[in-house]
Chain A
């Protein structure tokens, strides 16, 4: 039986549509990340699943049961709020027990569930504290604990790591990954941080503009983005999209000409490409390397260097003004203002049609 199933969910606030027919099926125990920029509708979708928002049309099913007409507390879901939403006047123990008491779970059962969750989350010594006496990371654990004790079928995490500092975020990320191994439930996490989504999720749902852009494995989203939006949104720094047009070629693969006249041989099948249309060549930094001026595919001038240690990102400008990011070794001797050649590895480059649709290179086996 599938875990969560969304069937053509639609939602509008007044005249403003926020979700245009979203459908999704989750496997049991799957961890899915909703990834997208703010305003993409991902939080609204999460709140619809939780029951905090109504839907205008469509259905929500959880393990064979239709839940969208049910009140939030009866859906078998638990939510970890972005700002935790702990009850400040209750102790940690009461915070975790509140939902169970409302559900009339027997007292000793509540005891044991709260104790177990506290042990797993290492907050046993803080059970009698108030949230106000705890650090941000500890509150986060309480919020997770409050969700765990309910033994939900689905965890909903709303930007769970966004309020933690960088070090704590890394640690909590690892802990979340461990937690899901222990818990027999599915997870949905809303995030705008692609690193979180890539590391935690089994599948990523990329959302933009009220709709799902792509559902796929993390590496699939990265290597075979469904469209120009996904290609630009996932990956840091963003993929360069260079305007290009088809050039004459005998090969079955497309050869494209960039704005400055440089020719790039791709491994994208010529057949199927929209004929005569303006295309875009999609290049991640690792597909572009640095060469002597005149020795590469195109010549460019260095405008900015980002030295990241193990590699250097080279921001350069082509003769026609196009910005392109290349990658060089960590101890690059380049200087801003240098004239360089860019060697474009056309065999792994993507092409995008005028509507943003992606055309991927044939995978060389």
Chain B
């Protein structure tokens, strides 16, 4: 009787489970399997154990791509989170005006990466771009954002921040609207300044949203790819090659599927570790402050 019922229940989730297995579970294990083999596009390849991983450990190109990924993530996530929160605070009021402005700020999020990079290629172009013109108007030499190895990662970060601002802003807006208004009234009767109200009421109330935004954005930006590939192709001389771009080039440029899979597994473990650390650290911090 019980077993029968269990089977019928399973039928309802079967379509989802099937798709989930084909699209997610199978590739996950296939990737692990691939990472232990030397494989090209044809044939099953041969087992090399942890050979691919050993090779990665000594590969300076992979090391640089990882470093680039971390740097660009560190440039993006804090600025993006703070900007999104400030925008949400500014737009957290009813009215037609703010609704329109919210829409405008969110609109960049619906663009595809191709269009975003196209726009920013123009903006960043030193001779004719918006930034170049602005620099020249101020009497400075325009900066070669996409060809200077020191400027290309900031350029990537700016482009990504502009593109990704919409979702975190919406998450913060949703979070702000969850905070009951009478708490702010109580704070005003408690003689709290605006600054103190922000730090003692708003920020603690948004704790979960902040954690969510930072975790989502960190996981997303560690996989940054399209902007790097389309804006600079990883150049100049690898200065903007990110980890996923390295993966892509290895797998579909040099057809070393096993080697690329090993790099993917390492990136997966890094993202997992970073996310869990953030989760754990936030939990500890709030416990310590009694939140």
| Chain A residues packing against B (C-beta within 8 Å) | 50-52, 71-74, 77-79, 81-83, 85-91, 94, 98-99, 102-103, 146
Q: List, in ascending order, chain A residues with CB within 8 A of B189's CB.
A: 50-52, 72-73, 77-79, 99
Q: List, in ascending order, chain B residues with CB within 8 A of A91's CB.
A: 290
Q: List, in ascending order, chain B residues with CB within 8 A of A94's CB.
A: 290
A7 to B7, CA, bound (A): 75
Q: Across the two chains, which residue of chain B brings its CB closest to A156?
A: B189
Q: Would you call B183 and A87 a contact (CB within 8 A)?
A: yes
Contact of B75 with A by CB under 8 A = no
Q: Would you call A99 and B207 a contact (CB within 8 A)?
A: no
Q: Would you call A89 and B291 a contact (CB within 8 A)?
A: yes
Chain B contacts with A in 189-218, Cβ cutoff 8 A: 189-193, 196, 200-201, 204-205, 207
Q: Would you call B192 and A102 a contact (CB within 8 A)?
A: yes
- Tell me the smallest distance from the CB of A101 to a CB of chain B, in Å: 9
Contact of B4 with A by CB under 8 A = no
Q: Would you call A89 and B182 a contact (CB within 8 A)?
A: no
Q: Across the two chains, which residue of chain B brings its CB closest to A91?
A: B290
Q: Would you call B188 and A52 a contact (CB within 8 A)?
A: yes
Q: Would you call A98 and B182 a contact (CB within 8 A)?
A: no
Contact of B15 with A by CB under 8 A = no
Q: Across the two chains, which residue of chain B brings its CB closest to A52?
A: B185
Interface residues on B, range: 20 to 34
A98 to B196, CA, bound (A): 10
Q: List, in ascending order, chain A residues with CB within 8 A of B207's CB.
A: 89
A185 to B52, CA, bound (A): 78
Given the known A-B contacts A91-B290, A98-B200, are A72 and B188 also in contact in the complex, defined by CB atoms under 8 Å?
yes
Q: Would you call B191 and A87 a contact (CB within 8 A)?
A: no
Q: List, in ascending order, chain B residues with CB within 8 A of A79's CB.
A: 185-186, 189
A9 to B93, CA, bound (A): 28
Kindly list 4 other residue pairs between chains A and B, CB separation below 8 angstroms, not including A72-B185, A86-B186: A77-B189, A89-B291, A98-B200, A102-B190
Contact of B180 with A by CB under 8 A = yes
A73 to B193, CA, bound (A): 10
Q: Would you call A51 and B188 a contact (CB within 8 A)?
A: yes
Q: Would you call A98 and B188 a contact (CB within 8 A)?
A: no
Q: Across the two chains, which residue of chain B brings its CB closest to A158?
A: B182
Q: List, in ascending order, chain B residues with CB within 8 A of A78's CB.
A: 189
Q: Would you call A85 and B190 a contact (CB within 8 A)?
A: no
Q: Which of B183, B185, B191, B204 is in CB contact (< 8 Å) with A102?
A: B191
Q: Which of B190, B193, B290, B291 is in CB contact (< 8 Å) with A98?
A: B190
Q: List, in ascending order, chain B residues with CB within 8 A of A74's CB.
A: 191
Q: Would you call A87 and B201 a contact (CB within 8 A)?
A: yes
- Tell me the smallest distance from the CB of B209 to a CB of chain A, in Å: 13
A196 to B196, CA, bound (A): 37
A77 to B187, CA, bound (A): 13
Q: List, in ascending order, chain A residues with CB within 8 A of B204's CB.
A: 87, 89-90
A88 to B291, CA, bound (A): 8
- Tell me the smallest distance from the CB of A14 to a CB of chain B, in Å: 14
Q: Would you call A89 and B205 a contact (CB within 8 A)?
A: yes
Q: List, in ascending order, chain A residues with CB within 8 A of B187's CB.
A: 87, 98
Q: List, in ascending order, chain B residues with CB within 8 A of A98's CB.
A: 187, 190, 192, 200
**Chain B, 266-291, contact with A by CB distance < 8 Å: what is the 0/1 string?**
00000000000000000000000011
Given the known A-B contacts A83-B180, A87-B183, A87-B186, are A73 and B191 also in contact in the complex, defined by CB atoms under 8 Å?
yes
Q: Across the two chains, which residue of chain B brings its CB closest to A78?
A: B189
Q: List, in ascending order, chain A residues with CB within 8 A of B200's CB.
A: 87, 90, 98
Q: Would you call A85 and B196 a contact (CB within 8 A)?
A: no
Q: Would you call A85 and B201 a contact (CB within 8 A)?
A: no
A94 to B289, CA, bound (A): 11
Q: List, in ascending order, chain A residues with CB within 8 A of B183's CB.
A: 85, 87
Q: List, in ascending order, chain A residues with CB within 8 A of B188's CB.
A: 51-52, 71-73
A87 to B200, CA, bound (A): 9
- Tell me the smallest distance from the CB of B184 to a CB of chain A, in Å: 9
A338 to B183, CA, bound (A): 57
Q: Across the two chains, which residue of chain A brings its CB closest to B289?
A: A89
A91 to B286, CA, bound (A): 13
The 17 sampled A-B contact pairs (Cβ below 8 Å) are: A50-B185, A71-B188, A72-B185, A72-B191, A73-B188, A77-B189, A79-B185, A85-B183, A85-B186, A87-B200, A87-B201, A89-B205, A89-B207, A90-B200, A90-B290, A98-B200, A146-B190
Q: Across the two chains, which residue of chain B brings its CB closest to A99?
A: B190
Q: Which of B185, B192, B290 is in CB contact (< 8 Å) with A85?
A: B185
- Tell me the smallest distance from the CB of B198 to a CB of chain A, in Å: 13
Q: List, in ascending order, chain A residues with CB within 8 A of B193's CB.
A: 102
Q: Across the two chains, which residue of chain B brings its CB closest to A143?
A: B186
- Tell me the smallest distance from the CB of A70 to a CB of chain B, in Å: 11
Q: Would you call B182 and A81 a contact (CB within 8 A)?
A: yes
Given the known A-B contacts A85-B180, A89-B207, are A73 and B185 also in contact in the complex, defined by CB atoms under 8 Å?
no
- Tell me the smallest distance from the CB of A85 to a CB of chain B, in Å: 4
Specify which of A77, A86, A98 lies most central, judged by the most chain B CB atoms within 10 Å of its CB: A98
